Structure 1
């Protein structure tokens, strides 16, 4: 979403990509997210957590959802950045204390610990999972 036409000095507040979540494409979407974060002049701690969020949320779609078509959205909330993935599965994630010796199962727990907010909800088409990261100067 662009509030006005390009060249007017108003920046784009949302970037959205319709994609098929595949593990081999995660680096590509991290790069696209990185370009948006750079345009928004986000500090390093925000970039780190947002890119982790992009990777984790898309990897979960590729691993756990039968139809990996989804939408990735980055939104500049003014003081925070939100990463949202909309997929077609109604099954909500479960976040439990990880087994630290297991090969997997830690991603959402770690992301929840790093971000200011992690949430999810069912939608008419499946579900939405999001992470919000504060970009305020006084952050940690």
Structure 2
């Protein structure tokens, strides 16, 4: 399989989230490969959660989104200029937000967050099925890191 990459800078505005998600998914679907609906839909949800959180918490600078496909996985990275690292967990049941990283943990095979010189970079990897006829059904049992 040929490696592919997509990168995009996103303005830190709520309206930019939808456009970024659509552009990334269009790029993924345009690659000359068969990933299967499970991988593409998982990537779409992870991108949406990461970009939404970055836009919500970015201080001034733009948000960067990159997606890389190699032989084993689809890797999503979203970086922003907020130095505060997100903490996974469930919020108060009455809270309107705070479930994004919990969803990413449930969907991705590996995920994490790393501080950068100007903020942080959140990443997630979605393992590719070894046989496209048998997509990954339950990412919840896969290895986690963070």
Q: TM-score, normalised by structure 2?
A: 0.80
Within 5 A, what are the aligned runs for 1:6-21? Answer: 13-21=4-12
> What residue is the counterpart of 2:117 in the other structure?
124
Aligned-pair CA distance for 1:14: 1.0
Aligned-pair CA distance for 1:135: 1.8
Aligned-pair CA distance for 1:56: 0.9
Aligned-pair CA distance for 1:95: 0.8
For the residues of structure 1 that align with 2:122 and 2:70, how far apart are their CA atoms?
16
For the residues of structure 2 that align with 1:133 and 1:16, how far apart are their CA atoms?
17
Task: State yes or no: 1:92 paired with 2:85.
Answer: yes
Residue correspondences, number: 131
Task: State yes or no: 1:33 paired with 2:24.
Answer: yes
Aligned-pair CA distance for 1:99: 2.9
For the residues of structure 2 that align with 1:113 and 1:43, how far apart are their CA atoms?
19
For the residues of structure 2 that align with 1:98 and 1:118, how far apart are their CA atoms?
19
Within 5 A, what are the aligned runs for 1:1-140? Answer: 13-40=4-31, 41-136=34-129, 137=131, 138=134, 139-140=136-137
What is the SS of the residue equivalent to 1:85?
Answer: strand
Describe the shift of the 1:62–1:80 C-alpha distance in structure 2 as closer, same or farther (beyond 3 A): same
For the residues of structure 1 that align with 2:100 and 2:113, how far apart are their CA atoms?
15
Aligned-pair CA distance for 1:65: 2.0
CA RMSD of aligned residues (A): 1.8
For the residues of structure 1 that align with 2:72 and 2:26, how far apart are their CA atoms?
18
For the residues of structure 1 that align with 2:118 and 2:78, how far apart are their CA atoms?
12
Aligned-pair CA distance for 1:68: 4.6
Aligned-pair CA distance for 1:98: 3.3
Aligned-pair CA distance for 1:100: 3.2
Q: TM-score, normalised by structure 1?
A: 0.83
For the residues of structure 1 that align with 2:61 and 2:53, how far apart are their CA atoms?
10
